[in-house]
Amino acid sequence: MKVDGKCLCGAVTYEAEVDTSKIVICHCTDCQTNSGTAYGVVAAVVDGTFKLRTGETRTFVKVADSGNRRRLEFCATCGTRIVAKPAEGEEGLISLRIGTATQRDQLAPIAQLWSRSARAWVQDLSELPSFETVPGAKS
Sites of contact with Zn ion (CB under 5 A):
7, 9, 11, 26, 28, 31, 75, 77-78
C-alpha–C-alpha distance, residues 77 and 10, integer Å: 9
Which is closer to Zn ion, CB of 78 or CB of 108? Answer: 78
Cβ nearer to Zn ion, comparing 116 with 129: 116
Tell me the closest approach of the beta carbon of residue 129 to Zn ion, in angstroms: 29
CB of residue 12 vs Zn ion: minimum separation in angstroms?
5
User: Closest distance between Zn ion and the C-beta of residue 131, in Å?
Assistant: 28
Burial environment of residue 63 by CB neighbours within 10 A (0 to 12, 13 to 18, 19 or more): exposed
Measured distance CA(16)–CA(14) in Å, rounded = 7
Q: How far is CA 111 from the centre of its chain?
A: 14
For Zn ion, the closer CB: 18 or 27: 27
